[in-house]
Amino acid sequence: MKNSRVSRPWRIAAVGLIAGTVLLSSGCGHGDKSPSWQGGGNGNGSGVNNSAQADGGTASATPSPSPTPATVAVVSPKSDATGVVAATEVKYTSEDPENTSVKVTDDKGEEVKGTLDKDDKVWRPEKALAYGTKYTVTVNGTASEGKGGTTTSTFTTMAKPSKVIRVTSFLGDNNVVGVGMPLIIKFSRAIPASYRDDVERRMTVTASPAQVGSWGWISPTEVHYRPKEFWKANSKVFYKVQLAGVPLGNDYYGKSDLTVDLKIGRSFVMTVSNKTKQMTVKQDGKVIKTLPVSLGKPSTPSSSGTMIVMEKMRHTVFDTTDTDPKNGYKTPIDFAQRITWSGQFIHAAPWSEGKQGKVNVSHGCVNVSEAMGAWLFSRTMMGDPITVSGTEEKLKQGNGWTDFNLSWAAWKKLSYL
């Protein structure tokens, strides 16, 4: 049965663009300062006010004002709570948050690494807590104008779950990719729609230089991230997915976290016009080559839209006999670069060189000469974009990495935030 959003005992609050907070049911506690007495002793331990004796008055001790209660409290997890999700965070109250500290220790007394958000009054662990472990939270408010105090609270995390969802990244550390490359995250099981906003808040992307971007759900098991426009050339990109211990619906939890540190290469953008039958190649914004092409003939048109180089093969064989035994073909191909899942490629086609720049004769591919196929192949990388315009057929969304084929407004609608 699908878990309902409102029935969850925890929720995630947005922090910045894509940060996460898991909240549990709340509780609070207060501590009191011990009472004290004013009026110093006279050296003989009597505690009598000397000036009062000198005036002949009756000596007395004057009590202080009522004790000031502690003004800090742990809101969640609730004190002595058990079965707490390992991805929990600590929420507290304080009248003086700037001078309040939070410390979390495990059952061995070792401090847990985390960050403190004093604006939201939330302590966030650096990584998921250990399963089946008791933790102690100490919130200390420095005394300031009557505000302060210290309180402690304990909670115990849930047992290790048997139902987990694996998270994988298509890209890895130190990859260098083109300016059109989306960041691709896949899940081993479908994420219910009501949990996808929670997932997004726990996936953070940091680019240098900074660039606006957004996650978009391609399917229940796949989510991509793209910037508003192509990545800036030579950017550094780091992304983190923190889903270890996070509830993902139907009693499933995230299995682990992951991080990826990669680089965007130079800008290499290909543009093809069906009207002129020419490809224009720009590198870092400057035209470096214009070459003739032949696109798909009317019965097998090329797709118009923005596609991405997804795969490169120096030599391969195109074989369509399985799907079309009567009219299929089996042809050796050089310098093939896949741009759609349906089988459209940029590739060398020496048999159509006399037609390139004049008429379309391909089965949907972008045909170039043997020499130009080699030239392109030596310069492109995975993630380089190609935009084709003016053909009889529009690119179908999802037929390849079509993230940049959508407008920015349309892409943002694929996010659950």
365 in catalytic set: yes
pLDDT-based confidence at 200, cuts 50/70/90?
Answer: very high
Average of per-residue pLDDT across 85-98: 93
- The model's pLDDT over 273-315, given as tens digits with 9 standing for 90+, comes to 999 999 999 999 999 999 999 999 999 999 999 999 999 999 9
Cα(201)–Cα(85) distance, rounded to whole angstroms? 17
H runs (alpha helix) in 18-172: 50-54
H runs (alpha helix) in 169-291: 196-201
Closest CA to 340 of 397, 274, 277: 397
- The model's pLDDT over 58-81, given as tens digits with 9 standing for 90+, comes to 444 555 555 555 589 999 999 999
Closest CA to 91 of 203, 100, 106, 146: 100
Please tell me which residue in 30, 315, 347, 363 is annotated as part of the active site.
347
Cα(61)–Cα(49) distance, rounded to whole angstroms? 8
pLDDT of residue 30: 37
pLDDT of residue 51: 40
Q: Which single residue is written with the structure tokens 């064989």?
A: 317
Cα(133)–Cα(154) distance, rounded to whole angstroms? 10
Q: Compute CA distances 70 → 80, 150, 152, 172, 354, whole Å.
A: 20, 6, 11, 49, 86
Cα(369)–Cα(347) distance, rounded to whole angstroms? 8
Least confident of 23-32, 96-105, 281-290: 23-32
- Answer for the pair 240, 204: CB distance below 8 angstroms, yes or no: yes
10, HSE (Cβ side, Cα atoms, 13 Å) = 25
- Answer for the pair 393, 301: CB distance below 8 angstroms, yes or no: yes
Closest CA to 70 of 48, 47, 96: 96
pLDDT of residue 45: 39
Cα(317)–Cα(144) distance, rounded to whole angstroms? 77
Quote the tokens at residue 127.
């990584």
347 in catalytic set: yes
Q: Compute CA distances 324 → 17, 251, 300, 317, 319, whole Å.
A: 49, 45, 14, 16, 10
Please tell me which residue in 30, 224, 363, 365 is annotated as part of the active site.
365
Query: Which pTM value belongs to this model?
Result: 0.79
Identity of the amino acid at 259: T
What Rg, from alpha-carbon coordinates, does the chain have?
A: 32
Average of per-residue pLDDT across 341-361: 97
Cα(338)–Cα(143) distance, rounded to whole angstroms? 65
Sheet holding 330-338, edge to edge: 311-319, 330-338, 345-348, 366-368
- Answer for the pair 158, 84: CB distance below 8 angstroms, yes or no: yes
Closest CA to 88 of 202, 259, 250, 245: 245
pLDDT-based confidence at 350, cuts 50/70/90?
Answer: very high
Averaged pLDDT score across all residues of the chain? 86
Question: What domains lie within the chain, and their CATH numbers?
Answer: 5-32+69-157 (2.60.40.3780), 164-264 (2.60.40.3710), 268-401 (2.40.440.10)
